[in-house]
A = this chain, B = another copy of it.
Amino acid sequence: MRGKPTSLDIAHLAGVSQPTVSRALRGSPMVNEETRKRILAIAEQLNYKVDKNASGLRRQHAGTLALLLFEDPTADESHINPFFLPMLGSVTRACARHGQDLLISFQQLSDDWHAEYGDSHKADGLILLGYGDYLAYQGKLKKLVEQGTPFVRWGAVMPDQPGLSIGCDNVGGGRLAGEHLAALGRRRIAFLGDASNHYPEFLDRYRGCEDALQAAGLSLDRALQVDAESAEDSGYAAAMALLERGLPFDAVFAASDLIAIGAMHAFHERGLRIPEDVAIVGFDDIPAARIATPALTTVVQDTIRAGELLVEALVRMINGEPVDSTRLTTSLVVRKSTGAGA
């Protein structure tokens, strides 16, 4: 036998027809138990693997999911948001459990990705991860829906959104941050992050924090809000801009840990003490949050569960089963950047 064995090779060796081999291998109930065992044994011995291309072609599907990670147009090559790493791990493992292969690709929001996958049968569905301007994104999502390409995205769950999303409860997370800072007696809280409908997740975090502060008789002063994207240098710049304004503040809620860490650099440079002068809360609990000095208090998202849900939802969608958007609960991990905790 030369080259890779085929189902026909196995059929010859087992003394059955090729379709019977195919049935036996796929676990069809209409194959005699004896026959199946014989076939399985031979397949095992030859190290036979079903040809993915042939099977995919015949069944008109790929058995493959594609993970598209969107990056900031500004992001330099080496910086992928570390927040996505555990999620990627979780998605990968979940795919394996579901018997799906996983294709990954980095995309610019501007690319032609919406057409690339479905039509070529490279993947049966898409998992979309990544920050970026939501309004720019939305149009593409609509096209995907029109084309009938199954997809799930990680992000804020919103009414009237095209397609389905799995996200954390950003409002709830923001609320946790606000409650914590209020309970610590902080009064003038700054928000670093773009709080507009271009970044619905950040906006929800802002609103959640605002809710909590209002419930405590405080408010989130818009004059203390500075736009920032989820990147250290952006957080640094935002903190500097905040200081420039010359308004008093005693706490910062950063829309992400990367922003928070950048801001901490800025405060250190300017001689502000954390948490004495400024308490800081981040969002995401990336590995750096624990390592930073002082260690960063932050809102934790369950990225592992998120990855699993993304895959489950997509697989169900591909199978035509009903699926809903899901919001995952968040929790707060208190560390020294707010003067409490370990």
* Residues of chain A having any CB pair with chain B under 8 Å: 4-5, 47-54, 56-57, 62, 64, 77-80, 82, 85-86, 88-90, 92-93, 96, 101-106, 115-116, 118-122, 261, 287-288, 291-293, 303-304
Q: Which residues of B contact A88 (CB under 8 A)?
A: 80
A50-B120, A51-B120 given as contacts; is B78 within 8 A of A92 (CB)?
A: no
**Separation of A119 and B55 alpha carbons in the complex (Å):** 13
Q: Which residues of B contact A303 (CB under 8 A)?
A: 78
Query: What is the distance, in angstroms, from A93's C-beta to the closest C-beta of chain B?
Result: 6
> Which residue of the partner chain, among B54, B80, B101, B120, contacts A89 with CB atoms under 8 Å?
B80
**Separation of A120 and B7 alpha carbons in the complex (Å):** 12
- Could you say how many copies of this chain the assembly holds? 2
**Separation of A57 and B52 alpha carbons in the complex (Å):** 8
Among A78, A80, A86, A90, which residue has the most Cβ atoms of chain B within 10 A? A78
Closest residue to A265 on the B side, CB-wise?
B291
Q: Which residues of B contact A261 (CB under 8 A)?
A: 291
Q: Which residues of B contact A106 (CB under 8 A)?
A: 89, 92-93, 96
Query: What is the distance, in angstroms, from A103's C-beta to the closest C-beta of chain B?
Result: 5
Q: Which residues of B contact A291 (CB under 8 A)?
A: 261, 288, 291-292
Please tell me if the beta carbons of A105 and B78 are within 8 angstroms of each other in the complex: no
> Which residue of the partner chain, among B47, B104, B121, contacts A51 with CB atoms under 8 Å?
B121
Please tell me if the beta carbons of B52 and A115 are within 8 angstroms of each other in the complex: no
**Separation of A194 and B71 alpha carbons in the complex (Å):** 37
Please tell me if the beta carbons of A47 and B119 are within 8 angstroms of each other in the complex: yes
Given contacts A49-B115, A80-B89, A101-B103, 12 further A-B contacts (CB under 8 A): A48-B119, A52-B120, A53-B54, A54-B57, A64-B103, A82-B82, A82-B287, A92-B106, A96-B106, A102-B103, A102-B104, A293-B293
> Which residue of the partner chain, among B52, B80, B93, B120, contacts A122 with CB atoms under 8 Å?
B52
